[in-house]
Amino acid sequence: MRSERLTRWAKSATDRVGFASSRLSAEAGTLSGGNQQKLILARLLSRPIPCLLLDEPTRGIDIGAKAQVFEAMRQIARDGRAVIWTSSEIEEVVHHSDRILVLAGGRVVAELTGGATVHDVLDLSFAAASAAERRTAVAA
């Protein structure tokens, strides 16, 4: 009976992120990077975690898996939970974030909401980095 309940739970959780339930019997380590990411997100979606911190959640996965990962992240946010994520793919950040914090030199240098562009993020990053370099040169 426990096995049946676990299977139903796993199928329901993985269906939400586009993971083929026919692959549930496979060992996670044998799956593609995208399917591994989907399994992790399915597990997170099914638990009452108030805030998720995701580091490079789409690194190394194909475009279809990326879309499913972003949809899962949106679902987590729609459920009223916070999703904080980092990415070196600025285009992804701009297109899939409600709010962007620009960091440079280990500090938040700007906060962008609605309508930010890749150009905006890069300008702020480089301007802050240049200012930090100037401060370091003056201090030396």
Query: What domains lie within the chain, and their CATH numbers?
Result: 1-88 (3.40.50.300), 89-140 (no CATH)
Q: Using CA atoms, how far apart are residues 110 and 104, in angstroms rounded to an integer?
A: 9
- The pLDDT assigned to 138 comes to 60
Q: What is the pTM of this model?
A: 0.74
pLDDT averaged per 10 residues, the chain (length 140): 79 82 85 84 83 90 88 88 93 94 85 91 81 60
Residue 11 dihedral angles phi and psi, to the nearest 5°: -65, -45
Can you point out the beta strands (E) in 3-120?
A: 51-55, 82-86, 99-104, 107-113
Residue closest to 47 by CA, chosen among 85, 79, 69, 21 = 79
Residue closest to 112 by CA, chosen among 132, 98, 131 = 98
- The pLDDT assigned to 41 comes to 81
